[in-house]
Amino acid sequence: MLGCENECTALRKRWGELGKQYLNESWLVGNGVVSLSADDHAVLMEYISVTFKAENTERLNLCLAGHRDCFGYLKRIGLL
């Protein structure tokens, strides 16, 4: 489980770095068509990918914690 937390922390850190360094507000709040350079597109795709990976890692971490708690409860009530 510790690996999930470390991975999630690293992903969130990278997510924050990308957001601070590269993302321009006009990409998100623009009216009409927005054009991106190839480099900007690559950064945006990495940003989205890191966001999904971080969220999935958090979900896995919560799921594993839930399973651990269920086994603890079943042991406490004598079913395991």
pLDDT at 77: 92
Q: Is 50 helix (H, G, I), strand (E, B) or coil?
A: helix
Domain presence at residue 31: no
Q: Whole-model pTM above 0.75?
A: no
Domain presence at residue 30: no
Q: Which domain holds residue 68?
A: 2-23+39-76
Q: Is 24 helix (H, G, I), strand (E, B) or coil?
A: coil
pLDDT tens digits, one per residue of 33-75: 777 788 878 888 888 888 888 888 888 888 888 988 998 899 9
User: Into how many domains does the chain fold?
Assistant: 1
Domain presence at residue 15: yes
CA end-to-end span of the chain, whole Å? Answer: 22
Provide the CB-side half-sphere exposure for 78 (13 A, CA): 0
Instruction: Scan for tokens 């009409």, then name that residue.
Output: 32
